Copies of this chain bind each other. A is one copy, B any other.
Amino acid sequence: MDERAIGIWDSGLGGLTVVRAMQARLPGERILYFGDTARVPYGTKGAETVRRFARQNSAFLLEKGVKLMVVACNTASAVALDDLAGRLPVPVVGVIAPGARAAAAATASGIVGVIGTPATIQSGAYAGALQAARGGLSVESRACPLFVPLVEEGWLDHPATRLIAGEYLAPLAASGVDTLVLGCTHYPLLAPLLAEIMGEGVRLVDSAAETAREVARRLAADGLLAPEGAAGGLECFVSDLPLRFRQVGELFLGRRIDAIQLVDFQTKEKV
Contacts and interface: CB of A to CB of B under 8 A. Distances in A.
Interface string A50-85: 001101101110110000000000000000000010
Interface of A: 37-39, 44-46, 48-49, 52-53, 55-56, 58-60, 62-63, 84, 87-88, 118-119, 122, 145-146, 148-150, 152-153, 155, 159-160, 163-164, 167, 239-245, 264, 266-271
A267 B56 CA distance: 9
B163 A243 contact: no
B160 A45 contact: no
Contacts of A122: 243
A145 B49 CA distance: 24
B145 A271 contact: no
Contacts of A164: 160
Nearest to A165: B160
A71 to B, nearest CB: 13
Contact of A55 (B44, B149, B243, B270): B270
A240 B45 contact: yes
Given A38-B49, A39-B38, A243-B44, A58 B271 contact: yes
B56 A270 contact: yes
